[in-house]
Structure 1
């Protein structure tokens, strides 16, 4: 692409080109019909960014493209969220428009799935991705922005595996809604578009995004599209009849969520805004080690680093007695239940088995290297269920493993009591040597 006259060679020795004296352009990251995206660095601070270069002549010469660019800028300017790609500034010359955006170094979700051996994610990792997607879209909808082209290609990942929703060129703002309170422009990618959009009927943009989320969740769990047909009319009929089949390894809570999202009736289809507080698949998200991101990077679970447990002395064991738990004196707003078991297996194998068992039961179960709760970004005002896993050495090779399930006040104690501890124990198999609740800890 010919360079604009106002861009000049950098004198910094990097050999790149400087855009309007502010950004040094680097390699090409990707290209679209009317735009190219370059890696760039701020001349002043050296911060890495992505610069989308749009050719004005090509955009102005194509019907409907100029409003699309303006819509993208208008939408991104009103959105500031950790899981929405941030627009930093807009620059322009006579020939080109430059959108300076946050850089997502992890590529797009479609490429990441394609590189995965099974072209899908474990359910625990799929949940983590999906929670971030829902968080981002709920934020967008609350600010009057419907994305209308939610698909894996438009979901980027940062270096740590965090999600970034991008490409708001087809988004709808409040002024796009007609007098009937609906949108009327059919747009998006057919395989991810809601049936009412494909049938060119008036529709609710947020509910259309919810359908697209359902398709993405299906792809994350199954590794393929629920409705895939080159004939759009046939694909629409399949969607209306719910002619899809989830693989047997998908948990029942996840199946119910997919069904609620892939509801051909937009009036009864669940809205993304209500998922965190009303659907158990979200409340069953458990404590995650920060290195769970390795699952998204294609690393096997055994590659997740593990911090060796500290030896456990007699005073530590005594302090675990429920009668000596003084946490309630400090106003903690959590109720909890614990299970502990003894094992002679290595910490690595114990963690591996806990991860596998949790995956089968629809929970994220990973070991402790500074336990962190799943970053929901305030999705659930009433709190979520979370499990932390700690290991302590009693006497080699004997280990004490503590599992703590917590529910923030407001969710009620029933969520704790309904937890499938016995199922978890069965899944752990011979890893467990002796199984204890907090009440019978004194027997240790």
Structure 2
């Protein structure tokens, strides 16, 4: 959790990071990271810069959370209510996450300042949260830490889901599709997660949505006790009371979301279909329809951003950034097909005396020579658009420098353009 400063963030400090961003005021600080507002030197756009201390993350074993957060945000770029990630940069000691700047700060701060919201305002935030989570769930991603502190507001007051450090991706599920890691914030966490049983992540998010809606309308959490065990007992037994001002329709939704039995609990998609949720949607930008449109566009759009090229098929593997020395890697758009790149990699390896290992289905070629290991990964991003990554997986610096230069020269024949 990063605590946020409420000083005016736009004032710049004059510090320029990596020649690309002018650093501004600090927005917040946590155990492993600081967050600043920053201005892009090339475009003038304000962004938020999360500066992570690499050594602290290694010492505490936090690097998997960082990688998971980046990968989740990368996959969810196309939803208007998910905080966008623009760029990932790194030095030997720091990792820099450049994300969308949410000028409105945390929704939690607004609740602290104003207390409970009227039903219309609460419904608007809840619509935006449910729309974003429905989009996440359709992509196989669950958040697992939904609470007002992790929900930001842009300058127009629209909600932005952030802090995906505890999220789970499709590949994190066991063979039966369930999750097993107990995580989250106790007052917002579903009982099956607390019980450390296998659980459906989407249904756990739905429970957190129920707590969230209660908080928006009541001004306090439904389950609260200084004794954690006693609070868990209340959660399991559904022991809470509605304030008199919450409408019957809203009560019904909260009650169905706060069902201790995940099998009968209302899902996020079910909530979206209710009359209470649908009310006033037409007055807004119709978030539900917009996210479905964007999801369709994302599947059909052939435009590849710089971030797509950086992440590639490796799922934005930052493991190399979290150890002492950064390994060499280059990415390129190819003149030939994906199979053509694989064949070329094999030919180059044999020509230069490398050991060659091919993984047909994954379009991956491993090349080994001495203590140097090089991996070539190939991905067809769209019809006629093939991108490849060549990277050193292991080796001694002096030896790998020689082998690296030989390989890069040989690949030039099929390179349309290099990307780093």
TM-score by length of 1: 0.61
Gaps of 5+ in 1: 1-12, 289-371, 382-444
Distance 2:80 2:180 in 1: 30
- Residue 66 of structure 1 is aligned with which of 63, 67, 79? 63
Is the CA contact 2:12–2:24 (under 8 Å) kept in the aligned structure 1? no
Q: Structure 1's 248 and 15: CA in aligned 2 closer, same or farther, altered over 3 A? A: closer
Name the counterpart of 1:285: 280
Instruction: Tell me by how many angstroms 1:286 deviates.
Output: 5.8
Question: Separation in 1 of the partners of 2:154 and 2:34?
Answer: 20
Q: Secondary structure at the match of 1:147?
A: coil
- In the other structure, the counterpart of 1:32 is 30
Match of residue 232 from structure 2: 236
Q: 1:18-417 residue pairs with structure 2 within 5 A?
A: 18-63=16-61, 65-80=62-77, 81-116=79-114, 119-277=115-273, 279-285=274-280, 288=283, 375-378=287-290
Structure 2 vs 1, CA of residues 59 and 380 (structure 1 numbering), >3 Å: closer, same or farther? closer
Q: What is the alpha-carbon distance in structure 1 between the residues aligned to residue 127 and residue 23 of structure 2?
A: 34
Closer/same/farther in 2, CA of residues 15 and 114 from structure 1, 3 Å limit: closer
Number of residues of Structure 1 aligned to a counterpart in Structure 2 = 282
Q: 1:275 & 1:379 partners in 2: Cα distance? A: 16
Match of 2:350 in 1: none
* Distance across 2 between alignment mates of 1:283 and 1:15: 45
Deviation at 1:230, TM superposition (A): 2.6
Larger radius of gyration: 1
Secondary structure in structure 1 of the residue aligned to 2:69 = helix
Contact 2:13–2:23, Cα closer than 8 Å, also in 1: no
Write the distance in 2 (CA, Å) between the matches of 1:153 and 1:15: 27
Runs of 4+ in 1 over 3 A off after TM superposition: 372-381
Give distance in 2, aligned partners of 1:202 and 1:257.
Answer: 25
The alignment yields a C-alpha RMSD, in angstroms, of: 1.7
Corresponding position of 2:372: none
- How has the CA–CA distance of structure 1 residues 380 and 268 changed in structure 2, closer, same or farther, with 3 Å as cutoff? farther
Query: Residues 395-437 of structure 1: CA distance to partner in whole angstroms, max 9, x if unpaired?
Result: xxxxxxxxxxxxxxxxxxxxxxxxxxxxxxxxxxxxxxxxxxx
Closer/same/farther in 2, CA of residues 19 and 380 from structure 1, 3 Å limit: closer
Question: Is contact 2:65–2:166 with CA below 8 Å preserved after alignment?
Answer: yes
Deviations 1:278-311 (A, max 9, x none): x1211333654xxxxxxxxxxxxxxxxxxxxxxx
Q: Rate the CA distance shift 1:379–1:98 in 2: closer, same or farther, 3 A.
A: closer
Closer, same or farther: CA 380–100 of 1 in aligned 2, 3 Å: closer
TM-superposed deviation, 1:251: 0.7
Residues 12, 38 of structure 2: 8 Å contact kept? no
158-167 or 268-277: which moved more? 268-277
Partner Cα separation in structure 2 for residue 158 and residue 236 of structure 1? 34
Give the TM-score normalised by structure 2.
Answer: 0.65
User: How far has the Cα of 1:232 moved from its partner?
Assistant: 2.3
Q: Secondary structure at the match of 2:105?
A: coil
CA contact (8 A) 1:276 1:380 kept: no
Summarize deviations over 1:179-230 as a string: whole Å, max 9, x none: 2221010001001000111111111111110000000000000011100123
Distance, in Å, in 1 between the alignment partners of 2:138 and 2:198 is 20
Distance 1:176 1:14, change over 3 A: closer
Structure 1 residues 14, 69: closer, same or farther in 2, change over 3 A?
closer
Of 71-80 and 93-102, more deviation after overlay is shown by 71-80
In structure 1, what is the Cα distance between the partners aligned to 2:103 and 2:91? 27
Q: CA deviation at 1:233?
A: 2.1
User: What does the per-residue CA deviation read over 1:363-402, in whole Å, with 9 as the maximum and x for residues that have no partner?
Assistant: xxxxxxxxx5654444799xxxxxxxxxxxxxxxxxxxxx
SS at match of 1:61: helix
The aligned residue for residue 324 of structure 1 is none
- Consecutive unaligned residues of structure 2, counting only runs of 5 or more, are 1-10, 294-420
Given the superposition, is the C-alpha separation of residues 286 and 139 from structure 1 closer, same or farther in structure 2, using an over 3 Å criterion?
Answer: closer
Query: 3-state SS of the aligned residue for 1:94?
Result: coil
